[in-house]
Amino acid sequence: MTDIIVYVVNALADILSDYPLTIIAVTLLIKFVLLPFDIHQRKNSRKQMALTAEVADIRRRYKDPNQANQKVQELYRKHKVSTLAGCLPLALQLVFLFSFFSALRMLVAEQTSLFVIEASALGADAVELPKWLWINNFWQPDSGFVSPMANAEELLTFLNQNVKDLSPEHLMLMKQSGIIEFTSEGLNVVESVYMQLHDSVLAANGLTGIANGWFGLPIITGVTTFLQQKLSMKNQPKMDEQTEATNNTMTYFMPFFSAAMCLSSNSGFALYWAVSNIITIIFTFIINAVFDAKEKKAAKAAL
């Protein structure tokens, strides 16, 4: 899945000549692929909600929990309601989320090493950091605590973490430029050479002492995750107290988790998550409006 996403993103980026726009387009494509599963899940949830009164009546009449659960399952089978219908869309979303995370790491490794090689070969004045909106380097986190270009220590950590995603040609070119060296202890960044290049690139781009971003994408992701969770819970049937408590905890935990993930990841991944949330919210309003209209029409016809 990761290799497929990398291929699609690179192929589309060759056409659009813009990675942020490409990521938005691929995110939209993924959401449309998942839309039928999402519609099925929401339709199932509405069926389940419509049976809430009958489920409550069953649990009131049958004091034995096992017997009550059996009767509830019989009711669900009668009305073709699946209690597991929400699992598949969630599982698919998680698969795409983690695959996109891995794909963006591969792209960042490729683009970062390529930028360093070009800056070393052509000179700092001949290259420009990939700026997008308020973010000075799209391949760095959208954070006020991060520089637009990694320092020597950060680059070494980055290279060691992503060495399997770097082409041998890129590594060899960086070695020939004197930026990295291979010692008995492994790969090492030649700090004096790299930091001179680092400072020259930032100065040439007018970014000396300036942060890479202003936390925009992590904040947008956190807020939209919260809204998405609230909308999702609004259309869910009433659960038992323990499940309700767990859902409430997740409603407030997930926004902080998503914001923290985006704060420590490259801006491409943060953009994917933010756009994915926004599209999901829009789809939710549209799907709910369509279902509401159908239910009102059916109610009028029944009179």
Q: How are beta strands 186-189 and 180-183 bridged, if at all?
A: antiparallel
**DSSP line for 55-117:** HHHHHHH--SHHHHHHHHHHHHHHTT--TTTTHHHHHHHHHHHHHHHHHHHHHHHHHHHHHHH
Number of H-type helices and E-type strands within the chain: 11, 2
**Which tokens sit at 143?**
């954070």
Distance, in Å, from the CA atom of 214 to the CA atom of 144, rounded to the nearest integer, reads: 5
Q: Which amino acid is at 18?
A: D
Three-state SS at 262 = helix
- pLDDT at residue 275, rounded to an integer: 97
Which DSSP symbol is given to 135? B
**Per-residue confidence of the chain (303 residues) as pLDDT tens digits?**
788 999 999 999 999 999 999 999 999 999 999 998 888 888 888 887 877 888 878 888 887 878 888 878 888 888 888 776 667 777 888 888 899 899 998 899 888 888 899 998 888 888 899 999 999 999 999 999 999 999 999 899 888 888 888 888 888 998 998 999 988 888 899 999 999 999 999 999 999 989 999 999 999 999 999 999 888 777 665 665 666 677 778 888 999 999 999 999 999 999 999 999 999 999 998 988 888 888 788 777 776
Scan for tokens 């609230």, then name that residue. 230
Distance, in Å, from the CA atom of 264 to the CA atom of 258, rounded to the nearest integer, reads: 10
Three-state SS at 137 = coil
Give CA separation, 62 vs 55, 122, 164, 232, in Å: 11, 79, 59, 30
What are the boundaries of each domain within the chain?
2-302
- pLDDT at residue 242, rounded to an integer: 66
Say if residues 45 and 236 touch (Cβ distance below 8 Å).
yes
The residues with which 135 forms a beta bridge, in sequence order, are 132
**Going along the chain, which residue ranges are E strands?**
180-183, 186-189
Q: Please state the three-class secondary structure of 1-44 as a single string.
A: CHHHHHHHHHHHHHHHCCHHHHHHHHHHHHHHHHHHHHHHHHHH
Residue 137: other Cβ atoms inside 10 A: 27
Distance, in Å, from the CA atom of 282 to the CA atom of 288, rounded to the nearest integer, reads: 10
Phi, psi (5° rounding) for residue 145? -100, 0
